[in-house]
Structure 1
């Protein structure tokens, strides 16, 4: 298989996932990854596809997340670099197998949890994602009770891995999700 496409990622995820919120999360991470690809001058659709498929084993193996990615994706012909990128978003959390090294891997690690905070904030705003400012998002990010299940420590590790300011990554997330707001239900 050439680089994974978004169409292929959607077909593969549908084989292993049934819960609506996981498809919404897949779409949010995909959108954020597209914006990160733009930032790095990389292949946007490829990054979106990897982002979409990042939780392929989560519904079946929530307590062993990222440990079953290879067995689900190798038979689908997903390239090794994409399998590794997906596994790497669990580095230090559920697996020690693949430390994020590429811009794609580091971006996936950073935006996975961050999209949850952006989404939660958008849900409480009458305007949704429209006009969301990084400054306001940073205030929500600092409030540990807001979207409490989204790990600030993991997100901060991602910012550090990328060598980017929090606001830059947040803006990418907002921009990417804004571009896909209908798909995300906003």
Structure 2
């Protein structure tokens, strides 16, 4: 699957601008992490784009989230390799993440909101966000309170937190204009 196909599929099922922005941000982070780890950056980016494809459909029903995403992806000809990762990313049902792509998706999914919140404090300028800023805000539990910090920490077997924060910032820098940041 190519990126343009994934974007078209995403826009067919996800209408919420905030969910689309979240998907772009997660994809940007996934791509940078994959490059760093020597993995398939294109596939990881597509996984990031499509990981919440069912979110509008399930309307917050976490018992269905991921399962419906898997169904949508399979029905649209997306390979099982990608669809299964989307199905398993719902951490309310799964926690046995050992594959780097699954670990990275957990971290990227949650870190996207943290990085965007840091950028918004800087007037929307992602270029003004540094890893030390993210590290400081990461420790402030009240900042971006919905960000699940324990899911971000899952990345630690693959890399240190500062490296991850740097890659996450770079990933969001890559897509900043797509989500209205500078």
TM > 0.5 fold call: yes
Counterpart in the other structure of 1:55: 52
Partners of 2:13 and 2:175 in 1: CA distance = 23
2:167 corresponds to 1:176: no
Counterpart in the other structure of 1:108: 105
SS at match of 2:55: coil
Aligned runs of 1:32-181 on 2, under 5 Å?
Answer: 32-61=29-58, 62-63=60-61, 64-91=64-91, 93=92, 95-96=93-94, 99-126=96-123, 128-156=125-153, 158-160=154-156, 162-181=157-176
After TM superposition, the score normalised by the length of structure 2 is: 0.91
Counterpart in the other structure of 2:180: 185
- The number of residue pairs the alignment matches comes to 178
- Deviation track 1:159-186 (CA, whole Å, cap 9, x = no partner) reads 24x4321111111100111122211211
After TM superposition, the score normalised by the length of structure 1 is: 0.89
* Matched-pair contact (CA < 8 Å) for 2:100–2:158: no
Structure 2: segments with no counterpart, 5+ residues: none
Deviation at 1:129, TM superposition (A): 0.8
Deviation at 1:102, TM superposition (A): 2.2
**Greater mean alpha carbon deviation, residues 111-120 or residues 81-90:** 81-90
* Matched-pair contact (CA < 8 Å) for 2:33–2:104: yes
